[in-house]
């Protein structure tokens, strides 16, 4: 259906869409995938990055070949040049600086586009990140429709819509230290959530905490938009998507975007690749290492592009992995470890031979790794992109969430979809060893059966008659109607 639209769209009409993601890899990646899909449909794409991330994008990608129809624009992120730009503090500082520097930068950019001639004049639609609500204020000044793209799961967004209610009911802030206390006031999730499963911001001690109130405001503003885009699947998150429909004029569930983009690329003459790197240089030598391993014998370990870990946490994970006696491929970014210790220092202290089953790389082509037949499990931070990529690949997970929506995702993986284990709020070598053995040996068949069923739902959704493909077609047509 989308393929037909791409081939039959009138070439005289070129809708111009401006994409404005929050400046973190977990947000930029799905935004780029969506921009590629709309570019295939004949749209002109202008993509906004911060100057820092644009430099990294140029350094790690041949963007002119990878994104030939894109116009990239960059704006300052408002942070000092020596800011480390990693870890949870980076996100906090970005939230603060975005309120000050991004609004005037977007206004200035739209003013310059308005004065341009040709295909890259003022956009007919802005697709903005759902945690940058100021975008709709600026867009309304220029009378441009806005569609928000929330890069979290539907379950997580539904919980965000109930943070005020959690405060009113006395559920947040917590009255004691019992993190296993059930949360009962969120419709549809009464028998699922515990305190520890709420997004990380739930652990603030004061209901008036600025960051907590920030997210409450950001979520409420979403409903002003023309529509909401979610990188998810109706057949997997249908009940939550239906509930969110009560807040929005239109909801477009068009995930998994990475898989939908790959399928449409296969059916077109596009030269775009499925590279995951974007802001990091990939080490593809690990794929040859995987080629030498038996089927389903390797545990893939990666904690995403943002979180930081202490040397002690790395040691506990390392001992747990080594003691499990399973082969593992571990992504350790150069900026992953806080403090003076390096991974080289930590490895020197280990017994000879403890790492003989493992391979450490600085960044991996994750989609290719997860689809490799040697991979039997994924120890993950439960970021939504990683969760979706693991679901599509049919790989069961051990979830060790740290920030943001990851606590919600890990609960969904373990207790709703039953395709993995939830290891949140602990980092102990004996637990790591136990769960790796459970995932790779003791519960292997049961986990694989559940993972394969979920993978089938995700893969079916991106077929021509699948729900995500149909919803993408609706989005394309609705944006075209804005241009006419």
CA pair distance 197, 202, nearest whole angstrom: 9
Tell me the three state secondary structure of residue 18: strand
For tokens 């993509």, name the residue.
Answer: 47
| Phi then psi dihedrals of residue 282, to 5 deg | -80, 145
CA dist., res. 413 & res. 192, Å (int): 12
State the catalytic residue, choosing from 27, 155, 258, 381. Answer: 27
The one-character DSSP state at 278 is: T
What are the Cα distances from residue 102, in Å, to 49, 76, 215, 255, 373? Answer: 11, 8, 17, 28, 44
Is 27 labeled as catalytic in the residue annotation? yes
Residues 353, 408: Cα–Cα separation, whole Å: 37
Q: Could you tell me how many residues make up the chain?
A: 484
Contact 44, 17 (CB under 8 A): yes
From 412, 135, 411, 387, select the one nearest 257 (Cα to Cα).
Answer: 387
Beta-carbon-side half-sphere exposure of residue 382 (alpha carbons within 13 Å): 29
Whole-number Å distance between alpha carbons of 141 and 110: 10
**Torsion over CA of 369, 374, 377 and 378, rounded to 10 degrees?**
-20
Active site residue 83: no
Q: How deeply is 437 buried, as exposed, middle or buried, from its count of CB atoms within 10 A (0-12, 13-18, 19+)? A: middle
Set 16, 40, 54, 129: catalytic member: 129
User: Annotated active-site positions, please?
Assistant: 27, 129
């Amino acid at each position: 259906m989308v393929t037909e639209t791409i081939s039959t769209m009138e070439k005289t009409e070129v809708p111009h869409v401006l994409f404005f993601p929050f400046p973190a890899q977990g947000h930029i990646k799905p935004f780029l995938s969506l921009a590629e899909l709309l570019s295939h449909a004949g749209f002109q794409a202008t993509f906004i990055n911060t100057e820092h991330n644009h430099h990294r994008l140029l350094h790690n990608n041949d963007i002119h070949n990878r994104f030939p129809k894109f116009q990239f624009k960059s704006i300052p992120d408002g942070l000092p040049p020596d800011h480390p730009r990693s870890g949870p503090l980076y996100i906090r500082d970005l939230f603060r600086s975005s309120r000050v520097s991004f609004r005037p930068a977007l206004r200035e950019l739209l003013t310059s586009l308005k004065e341009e001639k040709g295909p890259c004049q003022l956009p007919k639609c802005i697709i903005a990140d759902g945690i940058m609500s100021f975008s709709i204020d600026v867009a309304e000044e220029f009378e441009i429709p806005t569609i928000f793209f929330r890069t979290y799961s539907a379950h997580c967004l539904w919980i965000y819509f109930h943070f005020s209610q959690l405060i009113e009911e006395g559920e947040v802030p917590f009255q004691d230290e019992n993190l296993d206390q059930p949360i009962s006031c969120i419709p549809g999730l009464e028998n699922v959530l515990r305190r520890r499963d709420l997004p990380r911001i739930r652990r603030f001690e004061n209901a008036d905490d600025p960051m907590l109130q920030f997210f409450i405001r950001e979520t409420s503003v979403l409903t002003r938009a023309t529509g909401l885009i979610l990188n998810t699947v109706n057949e997997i998150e249908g009940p939550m998507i239906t509930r969110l429909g009560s807040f929005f004029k239109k909801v477009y569930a068009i995930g998994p975007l990475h898989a939908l983009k790959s399928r449409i690329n296969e059916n077109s003459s596009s030269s775009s690749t499925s590279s995951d790197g974007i802001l990091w240089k990939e080490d593809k030598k690990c794929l040859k290492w995987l080629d030498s391993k038996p089927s389903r014998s390797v545990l893939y370990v990666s904690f995403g592009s943002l979180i930081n870990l202490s040397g002690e946490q790395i040691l506990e994970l390392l001992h747990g992995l080594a003691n499990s006696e399973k082969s593992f491929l571990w992504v350790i970014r150069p900026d992953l470890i806080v403090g003076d210790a390096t991974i080289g220092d930590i490895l020197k202290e280990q017994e000879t031979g403890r790492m003989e089953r493992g391979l450490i790389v600085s960044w991996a082509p994750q989609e290719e790794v997860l689809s490799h037949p040697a991979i039997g499990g994924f120890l993950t931070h439960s970021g939504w992109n990683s969760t979706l990529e693991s679901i599509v690949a049919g790989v069961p997970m051990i979830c060790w969430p740290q920030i943001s929506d990851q606590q919600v995702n890990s609960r969904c993986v373990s207790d709703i979809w039953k395709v993995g284990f939830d290891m949140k709020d602990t980092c102990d070598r004996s637990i790591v060893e136990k769960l790796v053995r459970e995932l790779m040996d003791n519960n292997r068949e049961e986990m694989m059966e559940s993972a394969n069923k979920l993978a089938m739902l995700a893969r079916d959704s991106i077929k021509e008659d699948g729900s995500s493909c149909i919803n993408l077609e609706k989005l394309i047509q609705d944006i075209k109607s804005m241009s006419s």
